[in-house]
Structure 1
Amino acid sequence: MLWPGTLIGAGAGFFIASIPGAMLGALLGQALDRRLQLHSWAQLRERLGGRPALRNDELLFVLLGRLAKSGGRVVDKHIEQARQEMRQLDMNPAAQQRAIAAFNRGKSGHDSLRGYLLRLRAQPAAAEGVLRACWRMIVADGRVDPKERKLIFQWGRWLGWTPQQVQLLGADHEPQKKTPATRGGTYQQALALLGVTASTDPEHIKRAYRRLLSRHHPDKVAGAGATPAQVREATDKTRELHHAYALIREYRGFR
């Protein structure tokens, strides 16, 4: 991850006082990076232009606003979906106002989101919740625009997800996925959910399943201070993992 303030401080310090100056400048620049939440040159330009850093509770709605606008025009179904997300997160009136402002900010498309999403990698449950909400916004108007798909796959990559994992996450939401899938296709989706392949041996599959189950277990998520909405997401994820593992065991014939 890039720290522009640190680099500028180190460069200026070196110019003024060689290596000792570079060290002092880097420390001061790092303090500036943390204070302003700078993770890229684009974010530095935003701060210089007067755009404040995004709070964690605002980032989701900036993403949703970007998606809603990317298809060309924001329609009533997009607005209603954003309101539904607010209700699901049980937002108070002040938080709702921040979410509305963030949604409108997202429609402008001016924010650099890469740094925020890279930082969110460290919170797998939160990252998954963001991607799920993004899929719900994408299909709110009953269709999936190529620009929307491009955005969510890009964001998924920044969050550390493979394209297959992002696609699988949206399988329950996309209109064209509502028809019954073939057995082989469902098996491939189950493999992708566990992060394994058809050639992975059973012991590695079992370990992958247990690791993911431990990470997403609702009790563990709740114990970490998650919101009720995040606990519900974890419960859904755990159910998906159970189904995927059961299907793989049946398909491969192991216990």
Structure 2
Amino acid sequence: MQYWGKIIGVAVALMMGGGFWGVVLGLLVGHMFDKARMRKMAWFANQRERQALFFATTFEVMGHLTKSKGRVTEADIHIASQLMDRMNLHGDSRTAAQHAFRVGKSDNYPLREKMRQFRSVCFGRFDLIRMFLEIQIQAAFADGSLHPNEREVLYVIAEELGISRTQFDQFLRMMQGGAQFGGGYQQQSGGGGWQQAQRGPTLEDACNVLGVKTTDDATTIKRAYRKLMSEHHPDKLVAKGLPPEMMEMAKQKAQEIQKAYELIKEQKGFK
């Protein structure tokens, strides 16, 4: 009930014998309480809406990306299931993700419209938009390569989310570097499964993860590291609208950044 604050304020004023002005004061205080309560309720409603939209759009676009290569194969479905496993999706959450994936595979999926809606809900939260794009890039690379059609879809996504080609290409390099720190998958030779990339990280890989050059100084690298860690902090992302189910992926990304930074420090000799 949205008038509880006013009712309680007036009741307290009457019990204390505040008279007319006491009742007026009680009404004012109660009104302020009601407004604060309604704002809080609206924030929670918007937060739930943002998280639900993020979740559904993530898997819809993932399905659209997969379909862009042509026919969706059993291997594609297996990769999608693996990503759901990484997010620890079970029960209703997994069913909802599978449904969204199927929606995205439809021939007339309105990608640009969906991206505009997503961007409007995430307005002012670039770290959320960035996390969404990183998940899509990771899904596209999950089979060990980026199909030309997938690249074109990713370009459309980036464009609608307000990300330039230069920024997008940097994201690609960062994700490819991250594959060597636990964030990438490649096809096993001769087998039907998928495994984590095994080449081993280099200094260049680590610098790509942080979006810096191998020639950058310690100050520049530390600044980039702190910025990325802040942008990928799981609790901050959830507070801004990341679905709790995707917190695990945010944690994994933060771990990649940490590992890359440790390798750079070791090889460049700074603390």
- Is the shorter-chain TM-score for this pair beyond 0.5, marking a shared fold? yes
- Report how far residue 237 of structure 1 moved: 1.7
Moved more, 238-247 or 195-204: 195-204
Query: TM-score of the superposition, structure 2-length normalised?
Result: 0.57
Q: Identity percentage over the alignment? A: 26
- Report how far residue 130 of structure 1 moved: 5.0
Partner of 1:217: 233
Contact 1:213 1:241 in 2 (8 A): yes
2:114 paired with 1:112: no
Query: TM-score of the superposition, structure 1-length normalised?
Result: 0.60
RMSD: 3.6
Contact 1:68 1:78 in 2 (8 A): yes
In 2, the alpha carbon distance for the partners of 1:104 and 1:220 equals 29
Gap change, CA 1:126 and 1:83, over 3 Å in 2? farther
Structure with greater Cα Rg? 2
- Report how far residue 73 of structure 1 moved: 0.4
Partner of 1:139: 142
- AA in 2 matched with 1:218: P
In 2, the alpha carbon distance for the partners of 1:175 and 1:85 equals 13
Gap change, CA 1:67 and 1:131, over 3 Å in 2? same
- Report how far residue 72 of structure 1 moved: 1.2
Partner of 2:65: 67
Gaps in structure 1 of 5+ consecutive residues:
1-53
Gaps in structure 2 of 5+ consecutive residues:
1-51, 188-195
Counterpart selection for 2:186 from 170, 175, 183: 175
Summarize the alignment of residues 121-200 of structure 1 with structure 2, pairs less than 5 Å apart: 122-125=125-128, 127-136=130-139, 138-140=141-143, 144-156=146-158, 158-159=160-161, 160=163, 161-170=167-176, 172=179, 173-175=184-186, 178=197, 180=199, 186-200=202-216
- AA in 1 matched with 2:209: L
**Cα deviation code 1:222-255 (max 9, x no counterpart):** 5557544332122212211222222222333322
- AA in 1 matched with 2:60: V
Of structures 1 and 2, the one with the larger relative CO (CA 8 A, separation 6+) is 2
In 2, the alpha carbon distance for the partners of 1:189 and 1:229 equals 28
- Report how far residue 78 of structure 1 moved: 2.5
Gap change, CA 1:207 and 1:129, over 3 Å in 2? same
- Report how far residue 63 of structure 1 moved: 0.9
**Cα deviation code 1:98-129 (max 9, x no counterpart):** 75255334431441334246444725246425
Counterpart selection for 1:229 from 230, 238, 245: 245
